Amino acid sequence: EINANIKAITEEMIAIRRELHQYPELGTEELETQKRISALLTKWGIEHKPCADTGIVGIIRGGKPGNVVGLRADIDALPVLEKTGLPFASVNEGVMHACGHDCHIAMQLGAAKLLMETKDELDGNVKIFFQAAEETCCGAKYYIDNGILDGADAIFGMHIWNDLESGKLNAQAGPRMASC
């Protein structure tokens, strides 16, 4: 059933990703990105609030008792001039989602939407973090210092990886790609 649910929202998530790609914003400047994410979460009935000025934290309350799992996606872009020629290329001169954060946001929104649709079946709650200013290495500090991650029994982040064949997943316990 989950595969059918994923297929049902695939085109919607692709459209969201392309829209986000077209309107990238640098770290601490993600105001329009924050508004777009918030509008979608509101539309889907997901409880959320702004944090770190331009980030968002939300929660999906499961129908059964259990642990709290966190899902994290970064939302900022890089100061890069896009020369892809794509029909949805960045319209913000010198700013581009060159690191895949547009994909991360769309994937997390898709997960949030599907989790919300099945919330009564969830054992525990899911916190969703849309992290601002990841590329500047200051975004995570806000979340930690302000207790936003508190109460999560586990937190999962993700990153697209062009070297990994489509349909494959690479995972390991502990920190990964955490140079900051």
> Tell me: the pLDDT tens digits for 2-30?
889 999 999 999 999 999 999 999 999 99
Per-residue pLDDT band at 43 (split at 50, 70, 90): very high
Q: Residue 78: is its pLDDT beyond 60?
A: yes
* Least confident stretch, 7-16, 68-77, 119-128, 164-173: 164-173
List the alpha helices (DSSP H) in the chain. Answer: 2-22, 31-43, 101-117, 139-145
Sheet architecture: strand order including 64-74 = 47-51, 55-61, 123-131, 64-74, 154-157
User: What would the pLDDT profile of 93-115 be if each residue is shown by its tens digit?
Assistant: 999 999 899 999 999 999 999 99
